[in-house]
Amino acid sequence: MSEPTEREVLERVDRVRRRRPRVTDERITLSHGSGGKATHALVEALFVEAFRNPILEPLEDQAVFEVGQARLAFTTDSFVVSPLFFPGGDIGELAVNGTVNDLAVSGARPLYLSAGLILEEGFPVADLRRIVASMAAAAERAGVQVVTGDTKVVERGKADSCFINTAGIGVLERDVRLSVSAACPGDAVIVSGPVGDHGITIMLARGELGISSDLRSDTAPLTDLVGLVLEAAPQTRFIRDATRGGVATICNELAQASQVAVVLDERAIPVRPEVRGAAEILGIDPLYVACEGRFVAAVPGERAEAVVAALRGHPQGQGAAVIGHVAAEPPGLVLVDTAFGGTRILDMLVGDPLPRIC
């Protein structure tokens, strides 16, 4: 049998990539929590398998369903960030904004949140007060109310100080059907601001890397900005907030679900100098770094300019930019036109982006 050609090998690789994921690990590792391939495999092979239902299967950031005359959006998110307090925010603010944003990006008006706290024995009450005050302030800013909650305490060592879960409900008043599988060739890909602020801030705040900067987390509620996008482009296909796994992960999810190519222009991607500097030192790509107050949107190409202008008119949307477009081929892939003039793939990460020395 003759040796396969490069193209045949790549086709074989593609077929393997499209196979149903399986989880063969014996134990959970940190990769499973990073938002990349390992997370996706876990969700699809374990959770979707077990819970099978049509509301879950689209795997959007929120579940959308009808109750009586109302279209509701429902979501949940857990927050385990360390350190709890960091430049630009704290775990409480994240917990509110994160869930608000998962609702907002479906086009819903976020209404009510629940808050479940798991506290470690010995956790200072003063810290708890600060966190709860942050949550209250964030809820007010986002126009939502925390209407129910729960508190548990576990023994020292069983939880890293404080874990928070928030679930949220919102109502879809607009007639929008945003979906990760709705992208079309010709669409523009837009990001609402500079990428990587939150993830780099957290990495630096942990202190182990010895790098200091003035960076702050970008945590913020996105409801207003989403509203601006939908007004400027009622035919918007898709909006998702960029959390773990960064912009790269969202573009991959979009490319795969819509079976299109997403082509990014490296020179157009907004990155703060400090984020870029830290990322260069560590050998990390800002496109994979978590944000907490940014979204990626796919809008019809002809509305791109209007959307960006609308975003930039808002204090939160200063760095908004078109970063790429959707093409028909090759389906399922994200490509980057590099600043240098070449092309490379932007694949989904396996696990967390790890600093490298090589």
Partner 1 sequence: MRDRPAPPDAPTPATEGGPVAVTSAMRFVDEFRDRDTARAVAARIAELCEPGRRYGFMEICGGHTHTIYKHGIEDLLPEAVDLVHGPGCPVCVIPMGRVDDAIWIAEQEGVILTSFGDLLRVPGSRGSFLEAKARGCDIRMVYSPLDSLRIARENPDRRVVFMAIGFETTAPSTAVTVLRAAAEGISNFSVLCNHVSIIPALRAILAASDLRVDGFIGPGHVSTVIGCEPYRFIAERHGRPFVVAGFEPLDILQSIQMLLLQLHEGRSEVENQYTRVVSWEGNRKAVRAIEEVMEPRATFEWRGLGWIPDSALQLRKEYAAFDAERAWEVPAARVADPRACQCGEVLRGVIKPWQCRVFGTACTPEAPIGTCMVSSEGACAAYYNFGRFSRPRAAAARRG
Partner 2 sequence: MCLGIPGEVVALGDRPGMATVEVGGVRRPVNVMLVEQEGVEPGDWVLIHVGFALARIDEEEARLTLDHLEKMGQAYQDELRALAASRAG
Q: How far is the CB of 206 from partner 2 (least distance, A)?
A: 14
Residue from 210, 315, 341, 342 in contact with partner 2 (CB under 8 A): 210
Residue from 144, 287, 308, 310 in contact with partner 1 (CB under 8 A): 308
Kindly tell me which of 125 and 358 has the beta carbon lying closer to partner 2: 358
Alpha carbon dihedral 132, 136, 137, 141, in 10-degree steps, equals 150
Q: How far does the chain reach from its first CA to its final CA, in angstroms?
A: 39
Q: Which residue shows structure tokens 């609402």? A: 192
Amino acid letter, 47: F
338 binds partner 1 (CB under 8 A): yes
Kindly tell me which of 122 and 273 has the beta carbon lying closer to partner 1: 273
194 binds partner 1 (CB under 8 A): yes
Residue from 71, 272, 303, 325 in contact with partner 1 (CB under 8 A): 272
Partner whose footprint covers residue 204, from partner 2, partner 1, none (CB < 5 to 8 Å by kind): partner 2
State how far the Cα of 242 lies from the Cα of 219, in Å rounded to an integer.
Answer: 11
Report residue 30: phi and psi, to 5°.
-60, -25
208 binds partner 2 (CB under 8 A): no
300 binds partner 1 (CB under 8 A): no
Using an 8 Å Cβ cutoff, are 243 and 315 in contact? no
What the block records as the tokens of 19 is: 């196979």
Residue from 150, 280, 302, 305 in contact with partner 2 (CB under 8 A): 280
- DSSP alpha helix (H) spans, 143-181: none
State how far the Cα of 72 lies from the Cα of 78, in Å rounded to an integer.
Answer: 21
Entry field: residues in the chain:
358
1 binds partner 1 (CB under 8 A): no
Using an 8 Å Cβ cutoff, are 186 and 301 in contact? yes
Q: How far is the CB of 325 from partner 1 (least distance, A)?
A: 11
| Order of all β-strands in the sheet with 70-79 | 63-67, 70-79, 162-171, 109-120, 145-154
Enumerate residues 13-52 that contact partner 1 by CB under 8 A. Answer: 13, 16-17, 24-25, 27-31, 37-38, 41
245 binds partner 1 (CB under 8 A): no
Kindly tell me which of 57 and 280 has the beta carbon lying closer to partner 1: 280
214 binds partner 1 (CB under 8 A): yes
List interacting residues with partner 2 (CB under 8 A): 204, 209-215, 272-274, 276-278, 280-281, 283, 356-358
